[in-house]
Structure 1
Amino acid sequence: MILPAVPINENFRLEALKALEVLDTETEKEFDEITALANFICDTEVALISLVDKSRMWFKSKNGVSICETPRDNSLCSHAILNPETPLLVKDTREDERFNKETIQLEDKVVVFYAGIPLVNKDGFALGTLCVMDSKPRELSEKQLESLNSLAKQVVILFELNKKNNDLQKIQRKLKKKNEALKDFARVISHDLKMPLANIITTTDLLKLLLDKKLDKESLQYFDYIKTSSFSMSGYISDVLDHYESESLIHNKPEKFSLNELLKEIIELLSIKPDISFNFPENAPVLESNRSALKQIFFNLIGNSIKYNDKERIEITIDHSQDANFYYFSITDNGMGIPENQIETIFDLFTTAGMADRSGNKGNGIGLSTVKKIVENLGGSISVNSKEKVETTFNFCIKKKL
């Protein structure tokens, strides 16, 4: 065989090949199906997806042989890539002066017939070939050659899709790593800030007590502003911690518990006043689920129903139903409601409806984002329906078994 020439763009071609990150990868069903189909269509003994590396031919897929690579200098495919736009068709290698100097052999098969379609990427570089071979002279019909061309294009498309998927996975890994670092940073900062804030609140009360008779009304108000701001910051920090620690809740094992007992426990934690009435599910359902995660969901939603309520008597109704796969819940209150233009973004992190709660404080947009995150980790979804100044209903479901 006459040694094949080296393409004029060889360095760029090799860079393009390596950039695909396909060399020496595992076999894949999609590529093996293409070589099997190529053999069937052309009625040949061997079909290869052959990539021309610097000094070797490496086979991403092979049908009819078992070897994975051969030397580049002794290959027909290295000749085929010299003319990227034209298939290399050799009816009989024994009668072709380029190849008849010695017998061409692939594994235990003598290669007499060869047809190779260059695998050309979007930049025009021939990376290798989709080729078929046989041990006897042959010719391909126009339809067979057309089909082989189509299959070669599919090979290139698969290469590019695999590369995009690999790139996306790399990006996801980097983002996950950065996200973990951000979580650790937020967790450490939040913990470190809580103690100084507690000291500010305590010191403010102490100073106010010591200087009570020496300060005028306006000065005392400044102390109140400091304390109120400190409590607001402390609540914000607690919400940040809850958000980043919520993922750990998903790892808790399912347990059996009464939904109504869980709701009573939450009401005690919230220190409910007499002007608030609750309607629990009548059938007092017993659930088998992640109790801690569900407690966090209800704690946030019930807390919001109380905070964002401008009625003299607050009414909150909690309903439950289930089917074979999901538990369904709803929480309805007679509160302020949510503006229609805020409904779609209410679950986004750091997004608020822009209104103050019944104490005059504005939310930080973390609580509902945390709720959505927990619900989705439990295999469910959450939505909200609201009518301003009338009522708001949060509906969510979680999977029975994860």
Structure 2
Amino acid sequence: MDSSPVHLPEIQRLSALDSYQIFDTEAEAEFDELASLASTICNVPIALITFIDSERQSFKSHHGTDMTENKRELSFCTHTIASSEEIMIVADARLDKRFADNPVVTGPAQIAFYAGVPLINEDGFALGTICIFDQQPHTITQVQISALKTLAKQVIDKLELRRKIRQLEKTNQDLLNSNVLIQKFASMAAHDIKNPLSNILLSSQALKIRHEKQQYEGCLKLIDLSISSTHGLLNLVNEMLEYSKSPSSLLANKQHFSLSSLIKKITGMLLIPKGIKITFSEEKQELYMSLIALDQIILNLVNNAIRYNDKEEGFVDIRFKQDETYYNLEIEDNGIGIAEENFEKIFLPNITLGQTDRSNNKGTGIGLSIVKDLVSALNGSISVKSTPGTGTTFFVAIKK
């Protein structure tokens, strides 16, 4: 028995086969009917619709046999998909050196006749075959050959239609997800704009009041905070405008950036109360992902850690590590904490726990809901560990 021939663009062919999601699927009436029709038209007992991967031949339809698969190296159809011919006919396999010692021929099945038409997709890749078998030497007419080719085209048409429907459904779902996310992102961004605006307002008021005091040492710091917050606000507005033009850019526009630089920019936009210390490693960590998405995730988590810290000596510790698959971020504080029964509730939209922040204001229930949506959109996960009165740690894992 000859070894199976190698189909040259095999990687591309297998990729094309995967795109149809048809290999190793259950029998379906619309394919079974085509196999039955092939058997009837050609007056043979066995007809198959098969697909071939790197090792096996799977029978999508099997008329006249209970077999559902075969080893690729024993498959007649492997030769068919490797051939440039429109149909491969083996009148008597017992006399063909390629198949004479094949177990399908010499074993209980005692196959003698074979004819197969390759199932060639619109890109020119042979995915499998529609084929017929008989235990007796056989011939088929030109009319029967034409009928087999027509049936093969019908199989491919069904596959292409299904694939296009799946692609359309995915496109529609992506569009729906983008529309939902843009609405939530707009709410979150508007919420986040308050922070730099508040910083600008407070620092400007303080500068105005203290301007009369000569040699006031804090003026330069307040001016720097005002400038930093203004730049942060302008950048956020520019990102929002860009995102409004193309919602998919929030996640699709990936770039290389330094995590420590991003954290410095974020903390520079926040008005950090006296007594609150933010710590993070300044070790250079290069990430490749959506910068604006991670910006919003960290900004919201750090801002919440500051707002809901009731300690005279408070801290927010930002930790980062990565492995081959994930970026892992931890944000720990020693604030008011969250009761365990509320761990899932805090990520729901418009849900607040009735807690007040350092300025005695209540939250809106927007921030953490959007953070969870962003993390999920990045193929990641977020969880929380907390003890009331002691502090909270958020764990974010984002797939690379």
Q: Return the TM-score normalized by structure 1.
A: 0.44
Q: Return the TM-score normalized by structure 2.
A: 0.44
